[in-house]
């Protein structure tokens, strides 16, 4: 898969290998539940490449990273969420993020995703990523969403919960307190 895809990409052609997976015969393609993981990856890559012309080796690499993170024993592995979000964007897919009340943890995830998009697609310098993330969390619309839910511009986290969150999901000081959701 790798060498043919690279040759096609380097030649500047839009003809990507589809392994027979065209729009007309999608109905005959086995469902992803019926495939093993490598078959599923190959099918996904071929369908995506034939539709949006993305870089197959990069997608394969990201999918392998995702598989590795899913199979790791790491607790609170935020990389799974970050990689799956990136893959969805690259494959023109849709996704949603929602915790139980759809405000606090969801807000942390959505704002992290917003800053990641700013950095990767709009040239936000990595050196100010954390500052931009804190600014969005302090002044952005997610805090207004929390206010509409609990009557206060605060995320509903107590100090222990904040310490238990992965670093990239922690709200800035002054934007949270123990509240009833």
Using the structure block, give the residue that is written with the tokens 């500047």: 12
Using an 8 Å Cβ cutoff, are 175 and 137 in contact?
A: yes
**Helix intervals (H) in 12-140:** 37-52, 56-71, 78-90, 104-122, 129-139
Helix (H, G, I), strand (E, B) or coil at 16: coil
d(CA 91, CA 81): 15
Out of 40, 92, 99, 115, pick the active-site residue: 99
Q: Which helix (H) or strand (E) element contains residue 176?
A: strand 176-177
Using the structure block, give the residue that is written with the tokens 């992290």: 112
Query: Is 99 among the catalytic positions?
Result: yes
Q: Which residues are catalytic?
A: 99
């Amino acid at each position: 898969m790798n060498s043919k895809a690279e040759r096609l990409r380097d030649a500047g052609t839009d003809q990507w290998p589809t392994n027979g997976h065209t729009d007309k015969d999608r109905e005959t393609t086995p469902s992803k539940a019926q495939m093993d993981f490598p078959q599923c990856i190959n099918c996904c890559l071929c369908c995506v490449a034939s539709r949006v012309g993305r870089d197959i080796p990069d997608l394969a690499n990201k999918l392998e990273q995702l598989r590795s993170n899913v199979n790791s024993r790491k607790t609170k592995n935020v990389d799974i969420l970050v990689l799956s979000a990136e893959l969805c964007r690259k494959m023109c897919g849709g996704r949603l993020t929602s915790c139980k009340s759809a405000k606090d943890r969801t807000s942390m995830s959505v704002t992290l995703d917003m800053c990641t998009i700013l950095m990767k697609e709009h040239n936000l310098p990595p050196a100010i990523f954390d500052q931009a993330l804190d600014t969005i969390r302090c002044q952005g619309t997610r805090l207004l969403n929390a206010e509409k839910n609990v009557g206060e511009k605060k995320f509903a986290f107590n100090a222990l919960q904040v310490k238990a969150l992965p670093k990239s999901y922690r709200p800035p000081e002054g934007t949270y307190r123990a509240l009833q959701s």
